A and B are shown apart, each in its own frame.
Chain A
Amino acid sequence: MVSFKPTDEEAAFVKMAKDFALHEIRPAARESEENKKVDHAIIKKANELGFTLLELPESWGGLELPLISQVQITEALAMGDLGVVQGLGGAGDAASFIRMDPDNSLLADYKISLASGTETAAAFLNCEEDGKHKVTIEASGGEYLLNGRSAPVKMAEKAECLLISGVDSAGEDVLLWIGHIQQHSGLRKKTGGDYRLGLLSSHFASYEFENVKLNQASVFAMGEAARSLKDNAISRIIVLEAAKEVGLMNAALSYTAEYTSQRKAFGQEIAKFQGVSFNVAQMAIAASAARNLVWHAAMKIDQQEADAIGFSMGTLNNAHEAVRFVTDSAVQLLGGHGYVQEHPVEKWMRDAQAQVNVFMSESELLARSGDYLLSGTKGGIQDDILRTVTASKPS
Chain B
Amino acid sequence: MISYELSPHQSQVKAIVHWFAENEIRPIAMISDKQKRVPDEWLNKVNSMGITLSTSSFGDDEGRNAAKKEAKGERQGNRLGVIASEEMGWGDPAIALTLPGPGLGGPPVQHSGTPEQKKRFLSIFSRDEEPRWGAYALTEPDAGSDVSGLQTTAVKTDGGYILNGQKIFITNGGRASWVVVFATVDRSIGRAGHRAFVVEKGTPGFSCSRLADKMGLRASETAELVFEDCFVPVENLLGGEEYYENLSSGPSGFRVAMKTFDSTRPIIAAMATGIARGAYEYTLDIINKEFPKHGRSYQTACAILAKLNQNITASRLLTWEAAWKADMGLPNAKEAAMCKAYSGKIALEATSKCLELLGPAGMEDTIVEKMYRDAKIFDIFEGTNQIQQLIIARHLYEPHGVRV
Contacts and interface: CB of A to CB of B under 8 A. Distances in A.
Interface string A239-262: 000000000000000000110011
Interface stretch (B43-51, B102-110, B249-257, B295-303): B295-303
B318 A289 contact: yes
B293 A381 contact: yes
A271 interface: yes
Contacts of B306: 310, 313-314, 317, 366-367, 369-370, 372-373
Contacts of A278: 386, 389-390, 393
A374 B342 contact: no
A357 interface: no
A4 B322 CA distance: 10
A6 B389 CA distance: 27
Given A6-B2, A314-B306, A282 B313 contact: no
A282 B338 CA distance: 9
Interface in A340-390: 363, 366-375, 381-382
A244 B320 CA distance: 23
Interface string B315-342: 1011011001100100000010010011
A280 B317 contact: no
Contacts of A271: 393, 397, 400, 402, 404
Interface string B382-404: 00001011101100110011101
A314 B304 CA distance: 11
A373 B305 contact: yes
Contact of A374 (B1, B298, B313, B324): B298
A10 B3 CA distance: 14
B74 interface: yes
Given A262-B400, A288-B338, A369-B306, A4 B2 contact: yes
Interface stretch (B5-13, B17-25, B202-210): B5-13
Interface string A298-316: 0100000000001101110
B294 interface: yes
B342 A2 contact: no
B287 interface: yes
Contacts of B366: none
Interface in A259-280: 261-262, 269, 271-272, 274, 277-278, 280
B148 interface: no
B307 interface: yes
A277 B318 contact: no
Interface string B188-232: 000000000000000000000000000000000000000000000
B313 to A, nearest CB: 6
A interface bracket (residues with beta carbon within 8 Å of B): 35 or more
A2 B302 contact: no
A369 B2 contact: no
B317 A367 contact: no
Interface string A181-209: 00000000000000000000000000000
Contacts of B304: 370
What does DSSP make chain A's interface, helix, strand, loop or mixed? helix
Contacts of A282: 389
Given A2-B10, A261-B401, A369 B313 contact: no
B303 A366 contact: yes
Contact of A317 (B74, B307, B320, B390): B307
B284 interface: yes
B318 to A, nearest CB: 6
Interface residues of B, number: 54
B157 interface: no
Nearest to A386: B294
Contacts of A367: 299, 302-303, 306
What does DSSP make chain B's interface, helix, strand, loop or mixed? helix
Contacts of A261: 397, 400-402
Among B5, B294, B311, B392, max chain A CB count under 10 A is at B392
B298 A3 contact: no
B123 interface: no
Contact of B5 (A2, A4, A269): A2
A285 interface: yes
Contact of B76 (A1, A68, A371): A1
A325 B13 CA distance: 38
B248 interface: no
Contact of B318 (A272, A288, A382): A288
A277 B303 contact: no
Contact of A375 (B3, B293, B338): B293
A280 B294 CA distance: 41
B6 A370 contact: no
A3 B293 contact: no
Contact of B313 (A6, A269, A293, A363): A293
Contacts of B35: none
A395 interface: no
Among B302, B304, B305, B310, max chain A CB count under 10 A is at B310
B79 interface: yes
A151 interface: no
A253 to B, nearest CB: 8
A103 to B, nearest CB: 30
A370 B302 contact: yes
Given A5-B1, A261-B400, A370-B305, A284 B392 contact: yes
Contacts of B315: 289
The 4 A-B residue pairs whose C-beta atoms are closest, nearest first, are A370-B302, A261-B400, A370-B306, A292-B317
Given A292-B321, A314-B310, A370-B302, 9 more contacts: A2-B324, A281-B388, A282-B389, A285-B338, A292-B314, A313-B306, A317-B306, A374-B284, A375-B293
20 contacts: A1-B3, A2-B10, A2-B320, A2-B324, A4-B2, A4-B324, A7-B2, A262-B400, A274-B386, A274-B389, A280-B393, A292-B314, A293-B313, A314-B310, A318-B314, A367-B299, A367-B302, A370-B302, A374-B305, A375-B293
